[in-house]
Structure formats: C-alpha cells, structure tokens
Chain A
C-alpha cells in the first residue's frame, strides 16, 4: 500500500457521516456571498442593490489574475452589498441576495447525463474554469485556473486527484467520489487535457473502500487514469505528502511548488466542479458540506448553495448539543474554530465539525519531557519542540535556520504531544514572523537594485 514515508500520525477516524448519502439542502431564503472566498484579491461586484439575478449569474468579477469570480447561488434580488461577519467574527464585504424561486441561467445544463467527449482546447478548458470561479475546494481555496497556468520552464507530468480526505470526521470528498465517480473521472480527464498530461493518479485512503471501488470502475475504460489506494495515515492528503506517496517525488522546501516536480494536485470535489464548469457550463454555486460531530443527532453530507448560513446546516443535523461546544470550519486537525455560526458556507468549506464535551477543550499543558514524539510525527522532518521554544524566545534567526517556513501546519506535533503543549500555536507565530522577515528582505533587495 502506498503512503508518504516521513512522520504522520493516526488520529481516530470518526467518519460518522461516511454512510450518509448526499442530500440536497433546502434553498435558503437569503444568501451572503463574500467577495473573498479564495486566496488572492477580493472580487469586484458587478451588480447593484436592487438588481435581479438568476442562479449562475456573475455577481463579482475577479480582480486581477490571482482572484476568482463569484456567482449568484440563488435567484432573487440583490438586497445589500456590505461588510458581513465571517465565521471568525471579522466583517468582510459581501453580496446579499434575497431568494425568489429557483431560476437558473439558461446556458447551464442541469441534466444528469455524463458528458465524456470534449472538443475544447487546453486553453479553452482553463478559460472555462476561470469563468466558473473555481478554487481549491479542499480548503486552500487557491484559484484553480492559476494553478493550471504552468509557469515558463516547468512542465506538468501528472494530474493528481486528491481523494485522500485524511482529516478525521470529514466525508464530503468520499461521498462525491462514491456517488459521482463518473463525473469526477471526466473532470480529471479534462484537467489532463488542459495540461497536455497523459498520466492521472487518483489517491484515496483505504478507509474508503466504496469510493475506491466506484472510482476504479469509472476509470477502468481510461488506461491513463490510475486509482491508487493509500494507507490510512494523516496527513496523507497534504499536497506534498500525496505527491510523495503517489510519485515518490518530494517537493523541495519553499518557495518550490508541486509543479517543480511535475505535479498538479486538485481535490476530488474541485475536479467535480471542473467537470460541471466545462461540460455543463455550471459555475461554482454549490458544494457538498459534511456536517458532523459526536454530539449531533444526524451527521449528514449536504449539497449546499454557497452563502447559506452554517447555523441552518447544524440545525438540520440535529442542532448543537448541550454544554461546551467547539464548532469548526473543516475537520479537527486543520479546521478553524468559529464564533459566528450565522456566517455563510463559502467555497472552501468542506465540512462543519462540532466537538462537544471533553473534546471541545484543550488539556492543560505540562512540561516537555523530550519524548521526541513530535519529531517522529513531523511529516516535514522538522523539530517542532525546538521551533516552538524558539518562537517563545523570539529567536527568529534560529527558527529560519530550523526551516520553520517548511511547516505545513498539519498539527501532527501538537496532536501527538503527551504534555499537551501548544506547539503549533507557537510555530505558527514563528512561521508568520519569519515569512515576514523573508519578504521584507526580498523587498529591500529589489528596491536597492
């Protein structure tokens, strides 16, 4: 069984919603579409308050190259363009639409038929992806058309579909690959065509046998596509770990990118969105969101229109349990805790995980006993105990020498620490500071020239 070699941990899977088929979630009365649901510049609104829009209609244009479009996810009237609270309680500009009926833009093909033939050129495929506002749906939200635009001097050799879904609890990719395997495979073929690549690897952790079976079946007729079962180990779905597991190649430390080893990685749900954008002319207006947690009565996988309030999803899954709760956007390893549950579902929201009772709180930190478990667990080969101490003592040069910028913030070190030290909290601080120093140094150098 293939896997990445270095480090990693085995957190409890807790895939409570693995057997729950994707359900279409009721259309919300009001959607809030933030202009910044992606990495890069926020989009610029192209509608005004009072305008009537239909599903799939462009409401905000990308601002520059590294940015992404936003489309109306419901039909209705634009009622506001104003700052709205995000899950972390910060106000960010958004377009608010009050829903009326469910009218779709006429060009969108809403039939179930899986289209396999494609006459478009590579550049045309990428253009359609750009027009559809697709970003990485695994949570990174990097605009997909930017990723597909290969820098000069590099060559893509592999398209990798990330179906590892190594985060505990989350099952949205798993359900997409199980229920919509044919479309995901077609999406992967489109990516391969866009990049002129003849090798497609689909990596899926082996705790999803049904997804592996369905994907293998769907890919059987295409010799260039291989579905590869991966050993269950976190962070198997980390981009660099996945590339190492599937190709044996290791992406060098930053600023190197996956393309430097010939790989372009897209998450399974993103690949489905690519298929829909290219073959069905459907922009990114909805996505599958896992709503899960041990305290929820009915963990679910919901097909949700973007902009729907998260609280509505939690309610339909049984509502928050009594007592202490921590509500996460994403899974428990890398997800972000929310304070604003009425914030909207955005493009990068693959799941909502509710941790309750003892799971919701951290254990008190004790003294480091040098057990070296963090060193063994680090998939990047770093020394978390030193980086954490260095950040506490503000030894930024030592942190830079310790390659703190290589940290992928997977959380293995902290999750495995028997002293329950907040290792990643400190390392994150160190990484941000050192990255800032490196940027400042580069700027100083360019201005001197």
Chain B
C-alpha cells in the first residue's frame, strides 16, 4: 500500500495533461511589446505628447472596461487580460498628435463601451474596437482627426498629398520607412511596425498569412493601377511601395486585421479576408472621399467574418 497521505493528493482529470504556456494575457502582452518600437519612433517624430495621448487612451479604455464590468455586467474583472490596454494603444496610434484630450476620451468610450462591452466583452465583439473608435471619431470630428500640422511637419499626410495631386511625383520612401512624415501616431514608421511584426511571428502570436496577403494584394492593385495609367520606369514599383509604407497599411495589416476575435478561423478564410481588405483599401484610397481607407476596409471585412467562417472550412482528414 502506498503512503495514505500521498494517495489523497492525487489529481484526476481527463487528457490532455499538458497545456501551452501561452495565455490570453501573455498574447496581449506580446502585442503591447510589439507595438513598443512604433511608439518610440512616434515619440521621436512627434514629441512627448505621443506618450501622453497613448497613456490617456490606455487608461480610459482600461477604466471603461473595468467600470462596465464592475457595475453593468457585474462579473469578475477582465482588465487583467490586457486586451483593453491593447485597444487603448491601437486607438491612440490611429489619432493625430494634435488631437484634443477630450476626443481621446470619447474615442476610448466608443471603442470599449459600444464596440466591445455591449457585445459581451473580449471574444464576442464582431468589429475591431479600436477601429470602431477611430471611425467614429473620423466621422464625428473630421477636422480634428485630419489636422496633422505640428512643429515638425506641416501640411498634409503623404496619402492626402498624393490623393489631391494629378500625377505621381515620386515618394520619399526612405522617410516613410523610418517615420519622418506627417500622419497618425502609429502610422509614421513602417520599419518599426515591421519589427513588431517579426516579434509577433517569433512569439507565434499571429501567422504571416493575413498581413502578407494584404501587402501583396495592395502592391499588385497599385501596380496595375500605375500600369493602367501608362506610367513607366520607377513609378511602377515606387507607387506600390508608397501604398504599403504610407498611411495605416502596416499598422492595420499587422495589428488590426490580425485581431483574433474579428478575423476568420482558418488560413484560407484569412487569405480571402485579407484580399478583401487589401483591395477595398486601395479602392478607398484611390477613389473614395478620404485619403485613407484601411480602417473602413477592415470594418467591412470584419462584417464578412461569420460568413467566411460558415463557408470556408479546413479540409477534413481523409476527405478529398
């Protein structure tokens, strides 16, 4: 007979008996870490106000989630999973540096209270909360949301400049890459966002399929538009490169289109969704009323996710 007090400690459960070390919290923490390089570059480009806006946005998002969970839902606190903090950073990254403080608070409220908690919180929201917040602000406060003039940069964003100029004058691709341009906080440094992408891949938080498909779709779309317009030479590759590096393409493709909750469950479904985002973004950019269309494209494709999940399934093993 075994020692009796050892026997009483036996734990029993069905298999499997191993679990991943990844948790919701660790995934969200990794996303925050991946956003850090872009935050640093943005601070370098726009100054300390970037930190202030980001901090305010995070505090508001986490605060609203905490209050709603505590007093409306009346469940255990969910802010520890850090998803509200991620929404806060992403919302801030979608705002210009000159944004008034009170607009940040409104954006955070729409993102968390309207887009997330009304649906039941994390895992149940059909639309990306940060993008809903951004789009709401863009429609409600168009002036404040599109004034990018600061001491460092004057005038329009590269996408806006492009939109309202009849010819492609070439682009400072290098500046776009390192963040030396006007734009929203998180849009300015493609290089820093790609660094974050590499980190997320290494940590197995996301796979490459959705971002890379969006990039390829946008680049091909831009190439054929340039070609159709009869452009030759450097413009044929600079125009696609410009569209990848400018505006919210990188931020949207890497950090927002890959949001677990609002993207499809299969790789094939994800590719369809990503092609939709890339193509719609280019349509909005080239022919829409706004210079940028990434957030609209993602929202629209978010709406198709239940349909994609219903019809795009993995091939079953042993079934042709």
Q: Do A252 and B319 have beta carbons less than 8 Å apart?
A: yes
Q: Do A332 and B260 have beta carbons less than 8 Å apart?
A: no
> Smallest distance from the beta carbon of B33 to chain A beta carbons, Å?
16
Interface segment, one of B2-10, B111-119, B135-143, B189-197: B2-10
Closest chain A residue, CB of each to CB of B120? A367
- B residues near A (Cβ < 8 Å) are 1-3, 6-7, 9-20, 22-24, 26-27, 81, 83, 121-124, 207, 260-261, 263-267, 313-319
- A residues near B (Cβ < 8 Å) are 6, 11-12, 168, 240, 244, 250-253, 256, 311, 320, 323-328, 332-339, 341-342, 353, 355, 359-363, 366-372, 375-376, 378-383, 385, 403, 406, 409-412, 414-420, 424-425, 428
User: In the complex where A251-B318, A252-B318 touch, is A424 in contact with B6 (Cβ < 8 A)?
Assistant: no
> Smallest distance from the beta carbon of A378 to chain B beta carbons, Å?
7
Q: Do B15 and A336 have beta carbons less than 8 Å apart?
A: yes
| Chain B residues positioned under 8 Å from A428 (CB to CB) | 14
Listed residue (B12, B264, B267, B318) with the most chain A CB atoms within 10 angstroms of its CB? B318
| Chain B residues positioned under 8 Å from A409 (CB to CB) | 15
Complex CA distance for A416 and B20, rounded to whole angstroms? 5
> Smallest distance from the beta carbon of B236 to chain A beta carbons, Å?
37
Complex CA distance for A332 and B17, rounded to whole angstroms? 5
| Chain A residues positioned under 8 Å from B83 (CB to CB) | 369
User: In the complex where A240-B317, A335-B15, A425-B14 touch, is A368 in contact with B265 (Cβ < 8 A)?
Assistant: no
Q: Do B319 and A383 have beta carbons less than 8 Å apart?
A: no
Closest chain B residue, CB of each to CB of A244? B317
Seed contacts A367-B121, A414-B19; 17 additional CB < 8 Å A-B pairs: A251-B318, A256-B318, A333-B17, A337-B12, A338-B12, A355-B17, A367-B123, A369-B260, A372-B265, A372-B266, A375-B265, A380-B317, A383-B314, A403-B316, A406-B318, A419-B23, A419-B24
Q: Do B314 and A375 have beta carbons less than 8 Å apart?
A: yes
Complex CA distance for A334 and B207, rounded to whole angstroms? 28
- How many pairs, one residue from A and one from B, have CB atoms within 8 Å of each other in the complex? 162
At the interface, is chain A mostly helix, strand, loop or mixed?
Answer: loop
Complex CA distance for A410 and B318, rounded to whole angstroms? 17
Closest chain B residue, CB of each to CB of A353? B17
Complex CA distance for A382 and B266, rounded to whole angstroms? 11
Closest chain A residue, CB of each to CB of B261? A370
23 contacts between A and B (CB under 8 A): A240-B317, A253-B319, A320-B6, A324-B9, A325-B10, A326-B13, A334-B16, A335-B17, A336-B15, A337-B12, A337-B14, A337-B17, A355-B17, A367-B121, A369-B24, A372-B260, A375-B314, A406-B318, A412-B16, A418-B26, A424-B14, A424-B16, A425-B14
> Smallest distance from the beta carbon of A11 to chain B beta carbons, Å?
5
> Smallest distance from the beta carbon of B190 to chain A beta carbons, Å?
26
Complex CA distance for A251 and B316, rounded to whole angstroms? 11
> Smallest distance from the beta carbon of A243 to chain B beta carbons, Å?
10
